[in-house]
């Protein structure tokens, strides 16, 4: 099983600031990496797939990068609606998720 | 508009069984693989099972293999998850999600809560 490790577990950011979230795979997943956003009481929402392609309707302030085993999600200027938990997911070999990064208000 | 609506959750005693359902609409259900993902309270997401469009390919996470059975009824646009020998650690919100093999999960339902407790 491919293990996904996200860091940090918690990130405190002020509105308008940049947030950088990391995700590492235990073995190469090529570019088969997605990012999801989950708000309390809601289902996850697909943000990024193919490591760097934004899903339909996702604002341009969200960007993804990386390949192989190291990936990054960047939120360029945090808005109030962006405070949430973010999960990475590999789909190169079945599916596994990282443990999540909670982005909170500083 | 894609809609996925789960049902069938509830409070169940350990060792009992439960069948979860997911009603799909807004897309050609019979053309897509479907999945179940669960999330324990305050925890992360765990992929549980996947089924291909024609039910030819079925996959399970090791943690549920032998106790969970995924199935679908394309005529009724419905996905199912049969859970047997329920354990306390199966307590979670169960989501159905649309996504092909080697693809992310594009759409998710709102989930159904399964609580296993005596």
Query: B20-74, pLDDT tens digit by residue?
Result: 999 999 999 999 999 999 999 999 999 999 999 999 999 999 999 999 999 999 9
Residue of A nearest to B38 (CA): A43
Chain A residue numbers touching B44 (CB-CB < 8 A): 87, 97-100
Q: How many CB pairs under 8 A join A and B?
A: 51
CA distances to A16, A38, A64, A84, B33 from A42, in Å: 24, 6, 22, 10, 22
Q: Could you give the CA distance from residue A37 to residue A45 in angstroms, rounded to a whole number?
A: 5
Confidence of residue A106 (pLDDT cuts 50, 70, 90): confident
Interface test with A, best of B5, B37, B104 (most A CBs within 10 A): B104
Tell how far CA A37 is from the center of its chain.
7
Chain B residue numbers touching A46 (CB-CB < 8 A): 104-107
Tell how far CA A102 is from the center of its chain.
10
């Amino acid at each position: 099983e491919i293990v996904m490790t996200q860091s940090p577990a918690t990130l405190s950011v002020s509105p308008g600031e940049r947030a950088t979230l990391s995700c590492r795979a235990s073995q190469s997943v090529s570019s088969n990496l997605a990012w999801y956003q989950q708000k309390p009481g809601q289902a996850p929402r697909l943000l990024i797939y193919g490591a760097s392609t934004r899903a339909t309707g996702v604002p341009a302030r969200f960007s993804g990068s990386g390949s192989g085993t190291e990936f990054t999600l960047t939120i360029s200027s945090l808005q109030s609606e962006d405070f949430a938990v973010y999960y990475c997911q590999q789909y190169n070999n079945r599916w596994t998720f990282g443990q999540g990064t909670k982005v909170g208000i500083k | 508009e894609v809609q996925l609506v789960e049902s069938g959750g509830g409070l169940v005693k350990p060792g009992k069984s439960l069948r979860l359902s997911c009603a799909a609409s807004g897309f050609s259900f019979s053309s897509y693989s479907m999945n179940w993902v669960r999330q324990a309270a305050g925890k992360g997401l765990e992929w549980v099972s996947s089924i291909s469009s024609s039910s030819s390919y079925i996959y399970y996470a090791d943690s549920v293999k032998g106790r969970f059975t995924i199935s679908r009824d394309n005529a009724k646009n419905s996905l199912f998850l049969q859970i047997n020998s329920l354990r306390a650690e199966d307590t979670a919100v169960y989501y159905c999600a649309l996504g092909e093999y080697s693809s992310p999960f594009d759409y998710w339902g709102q989930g159904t809560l399964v609580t296993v407790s005596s």
